[in-house]
């Protein structure tokens, strides 16, 4: 996880550089003597470069952290997806769904309407309704909400909100 403190520091270091550059340019334009003297020994450039290099190093480090974090999240999502797929397959096998019923059940879980399922599967709505009824009958549930609850129950380890 990226560090908000380090990113904030990098932001303010960059802002500091911009302010120093502006201050130096205004001072030169106004003819302020000590600013010209510091300019002759490159104090301004050194301050700006050190601040910018520090900010760049911190930002580079944070980008690497974010990439590792993203990779970790992608791995977790992949494992969760595989586990959910295994859960679906186990239920579908237990209930003896045909391949067509498995496809329709997946679309049900995704929240598709009968019309959407018919369009996706290039089938008639009556066929989808018959397959949906068969899914409910084989699974022992009376409707979409109860059907979905079987998967949610397993995904939440049977946990309850109450």
- The predicted-structure confidence for 17-73, as pLDDT tens digits, reads as follows 888 888 877 877 787 777 767 766 677 788 888 888 888 999 999 999 999 999 999
Could you report how far apart the first and last alpha carbons of the chain are, in Å? 32
Which of the listed residues 21, 38, 73 is the one where a domain comes to its end? 73
Distance (Å, whole) CA 7 – CA 116? 46
**Is 80 among the domain residues?**
no
- Indicate whether 25 and 68 sit together in one domain: yes
- What pLDDT score was predicted for residue 37? 73
pLDDT digits (tens, 9 = 90+) for 144-159: 888 888 878 877 765 5
Question: Distances from the Cα of 89 to the Cαs of 86, 141, 143, in angstroms?
Answer: 5, 17, 20
- What pLDDT score was predicted for residue 158? 58
- Indicate whether 55 and 105 sit together in one domain: no
Q: Which domain holds residue 34?
A: 4-73
- Indicate whether 57 and 105 sit together in one domain: no
- Indicate whether 23 and 54 sit together in one domain: yes
Distance (Å, whole) CA 55 – CA 14? 7
Domains of the chain: total: 2
Question: Distances from the Cα of 19 to the Cαs of 1, 2, 15, 65, in angstroms?
Answer: 30, 26, 6, 29
**Is 162 among the domain residues?**
no
- Indicate whether 58 and 119 sit together in one domain: no
**What values do phi and psi take at 96, rounded to 5?**
70, 40
- Indicate whether 105 and 55 sit together in one domain: no
Percent pLDDT > 90 in the chain is: 44
**Is 11 among the domain residues?**
yes
- Indicate whether 101 and 69 sit together in one domain: no
């Amino acid at each position: 996880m990226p560090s908000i403190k380090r990113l904030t520091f990098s932001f303010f270091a960059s802002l500091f550089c911009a302010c120093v550059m502006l201050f130096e340019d205004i001072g030169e334009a106004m003819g302020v003597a000590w600013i010209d003297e510091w300019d002759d020994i490159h104090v301004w450039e050194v301050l700006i470069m050190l601040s910018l290099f520090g900010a760049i190093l911190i930002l580079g480090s944070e980008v690497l952290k974010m990439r590792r974090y993203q990779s970790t999240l992608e791995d977790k999502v992949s494992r969760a997806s595989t586990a959910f797929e295994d859960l679906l397959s186990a239920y579908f096998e237990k209930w003896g769904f045909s391949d067509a019923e498995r496809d329709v059940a997946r679309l049900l879980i995704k929240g598709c309407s009968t019309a959407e399922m018919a369009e996706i599967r290039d089938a008639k709505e009556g066929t989808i309704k018959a397959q949906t009824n068969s899914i409910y009958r084989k699974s022992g549930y009376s409707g979409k909400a109860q059907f979905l609850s079987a998967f949610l129950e397993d995904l939440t380890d049977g946990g309850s909100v109450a």
